[in-house]
Structure formats: C-alpha cells, structure tokens
Amino acid sequence: MLALAAPITISDSRLETGASEPNKTGRPMDFLKPRLIPMNRRRRIYEGKAKVLYEGPEPGTLIQYFKDDATAFNAKKHEVVDGKGVLNNRISEYLFQNLNDIGVPTHFIRRLTMREQLIREVEIIPLEVVVRNVAAGSLSTRLGIEEGTQLPRSIIEFYYKNDALNDPMVSEEHITAFGWAAPQEIDDIMALAIRVNDFLSGLFLGVGIRLVDFKMECGRLWEGDNMRIVVADEISPDSCRLWDIKSNDKLDKDRFRRDMGGMIEAYMEVARRLGVMQEGEVRRAAAGPKLVS
Ligand code: AIR
Ligand code: ASP
C-alpha cells in the first residue's frame, strides 16, 4: 500500500541548494556555481502559473524555474505546496533526459539547481496536446465514459492554449485555419506525441504506474534556417494522470484538483519509484520539520 496520509509540509530550506534562489535569508550565494547570474538580477522572460522563464547564460537558451504554486481550473484554485517545484524539476528532468536519450527531441539541456533547468529557447506552439490511454477527467465528463475505462486505442486531442478562453478543445481544422500550426507540423506533433506516449507508458509501467493520460507542449526549435518541432514545457505529475497499477491510487495533480490531500506524498512516491530522488532525500524532505527563516 502507498503511504498517502495527511499532507506534510516540507521545509523548502531542506530541499534547496540555495544556488541562485531568491536570497530571502541573506545567505551568501552558492559560489560553487559562479556561472549563474543570481535570479534576482536575471531578466524574466515569462511567468506562468507554475514556472518562470529567465534569460539563459547563452543566446538561444533559457532557464526554467519551477515554483511551488499549484493551480487548477484556470487558477481559480491556487495553493503553494512546499517542495512541489523541486519534485517536478527532478521528475521532468528525468523524463526529458530519457526522451533525449532515445532520440525524441526536447528543449531540455540539463538541470542546474534544485528548481532550475537549462533549456533551449523555442517558439511555443499555442496548443496543449493531450494523449489519453484510459478514460478520465474531461473525456469522461464530456462523453460519459466511466473513469478507468481502457480506451480502444490512444487518443490525441488538441486544446488551444488560452487562459481567457479556458483552453478550449480545437480540431486540426481550427489549428490550420487560424495558423497556429501548419498541416506538416500537426503531423510532426502527432508523431512526437505517439512516441512520447509509448515510451512513457512503458517507463511508468516498469515502476508499477499506469499512464492514464498526459499533456505535452511543443515548440519550434530554429537551428540556422532549419526548424524542427521539439517537446517543450514539462512532463510531471502536474501534467499527467498517474495511477498505481494495483490499487489505482492517484499519484498526480488530481489529488489537488479533487481535494484528496496527500499531493506532495504522491509526487514523492513517483520520484522515489523513478529513482530520481534518493530514498533518504525524499524521507528527510518529508519528515523534516518546517524550518522558519
Ligand atoms: N492537463 C491539461 N491541461 C493542463 C494539464 N495539466 C493534463 C491533465 C491530464 C490531461 O492533461 O493533467 O493529465 C487531460 O486533462 P483533462 O482535464 O482534459 O482530462
Ligand atoms: N494548471 C491549469 C490551471 O491552472 C489546469 C489544470 O491543471 O487543471 O487551470
């Protein structure tokens, strides 16, 4: 059985390296990482609900910073969940590195600190690409299919990334007519989505987790005159539905959306099973007292 008990507040200080963090405590910056410009002096390119993008150390690179903010229902529901950013940074790093390793192109270069990763600057295609293997969430609601029903085949859906419109579902017709992506790009995106789904389904199955569905984003990466579509943003329990294979326990953001509690414990369980955070590191993070600075 999984330990998904009462939510535990994780001390940020225990999870952080301190490197290029907002220097609230007046601690000296980590001089072991002199190449990084302190975060408060970096140029902020974009701030989203769960992440911030900063100018990177070289042209064509950005730094992606993972916040602890959890939002749902277009940010109508918002909470700060201590430690979430650290876990998502690690989990996303692991998944993107694996995708890079098998030749699925992504924006990911390397992790920098507990909350930051170096990425390639891409032109984000304004679509949320959702791949579903098992009925859940909005598919179940929209079509009246019971959650947990295995789908006859994987289904790819597109949503237009627009908070003001609540990310409405769109078809390929809309995408090409309004110029969000060209027909060839849609083909490339779908081919990527299938590869990502096949790979991640297997990877998660290996650690006793069913990949029910996930959302990915794509970007155009320019190399001289050549452009290719790569996987961008993040892949983490914030953007996937992950169910324990035996118990069907939810190990993802639905714990927050549905007020189930135990969100951070679920994310830690995913990190532990993937082996991305040392057993002791996860335990210390969970058991540690809240340090007040
Ligand atoms: N998703 C969609 N928008 C934001 C996110 N994170 C993800 C959900 C779920 C999948 O896309 O986390 O894994 C499908 O979501 P829904 O709500 O359409 O069922
Ligand atoms: N994170 C998005 C929001 O704030 C969608 C979601 O995950 O439910 O609405």
What residue type is 252 in one-letter code?
Answer: D
- 49 CB near ligand 2 (under 6 Å): yes
Q: What is the mean pLDDT of residues 139-166?
A: 98
Residue 290: pLDDT over 70: no
Q: Relative to the alpha carbon of 88, which ligand is closest?
A: 1
Position in ligand 1 atom list of the atom nearest CA 240: 13
Q: Relative to the alpha carbon of 75, which ligand is closest?
A: 2
Percent of the chain with pLDDT over 90: 80
Q: How confident is the model at residue 42 (pLDDT cuts 50, 70, 90)?
A: confident
| Contact by Cβ (8 Å): 160, 180 | yes
At 217-243, the pLDDT tens digits run 999 999 999 999 999 999 999 999 999
| Confidence at residue 277, expressed as pLDDT on a 0 to 100 scale | 85
Task: Determine the Cα–Cα distance for residues 55 and 95; give it in Å rounded to an integer.
Answer: 23
Query: Measuring from each residue's beta carbon to the nearest atom of ligand 1, which residues come in under 6 Å?
Result: 128, 130, 136-139, 213-215, 238-241, 253
| Confidence at residue 54, expressed as pLDDT on a 0 to 100 scale | 97
Residues, the chain: 293
Residue 2: pLDDT over 80: no
CATH architecture assigned to 124-272: 2-Layer Sandwich (3.30)
Structural domain boundaries in the chain: 13-123+277-286, 124-272
| Confidence at residue 26, expressed as pLDDT on a 0 to 100 scale | 46
Position in ligand 1 atom list of the atom nearest CA 140: 19
Q: Relative to the alpha carbon of 161, which ligand is closest?
A: 1
Task: Determine the Cα–Cα distance for residues 67 and 269; give it in Å rounded to an integer.
Answer: 19
Q: Relative to the alpha carbon of 142, which ligand is closest?
A: 1
CA–centroid distance, 73 to ligand 2, in Å, is: 5
Q: What is the mean pLDDT of residues 27-41?
A: 57
Task: Determine the Cα–Cα distance for residues 76 and 262; give it in Å rounded to an integer.
Answer: 20
* 291 vs 252, higher pLDDT: 252
The secondary structure of 35-79, three-state, reads CCCCHHHCCEEEECCCEEEEECCCCCEEEEEECCEEEECCCCEEE
What is the rounded average pLDDT for all residues in the chain? 88
CA–centroid distance, 239 to ligand 2, in Å, is: 9
| Confidence at residue 114, expressed as pLDDT on a 0 to 100 scale | 94
At 61-84, the pLDDT tens digits run 999 999 999 999 999 999 999 999
Task: Determine the Cα–Cα distance for residues 183 and 192; give it in Å rounded to an integer.
Answer: 14
At 202-211, the pLDDT tens digits run 999 999 999 9
What residue type is 223 in one-letter code?
Answer: E
Q: Please give the torsion angle defined by the CA atoms of residues 96, 101, 107 and 108, in that order, rounded to the nearest 10 degrees.
A: 60
Residue 260: pLDDT over 90: yes
Position in ligand 1 atom list of the atom nearest CA 238: 6
Q: What CATH code is assigned to 13-123+277-286?
A: 3.30.200.20
Q: How confident is the model at residue 280 (pLDDT cuts 50, 70, 90)?
A: low
DSSP state of 233: S
Q: Which two tokens stand for residue 256?
A: 């927050």
Position in ligand 1 atom list of the atom nearest CA 138: 19
At 78-114, the pLDDT tens digits run 999 999 999 999 999 999 999 999 999 999 999 999 9
| Confidence at residue 25, expressed as pLDDT on a 0 to 100 scale | 46
| Confidence at residue 284, expressed as pLDDT on a 0 to 100 scale | 58
Q: What is the mean pLDDT of residues 4-29?
A: 42
Task: Determine the Cα–Cα distance for residues 42 and 62; give it in Å rounded to an integer.
Answer: 11
Position in ligand 2 atom list of the atom nearest CA 163: 9
Q: What is the mean pLDDT of residues 49-60?
A: 96
Residue 31: pLDDT over 70: no
Q: Where are the alpha helices (DSSP H) in 166-278?
A: 172-177, 183-205, 254-257, 263-274
| Nearest residue by C-alpha to atom 10 in ligand 1 | 214
| Confidence at residue 88, expressed as pLDDT on a 0 to 100 scale | 97
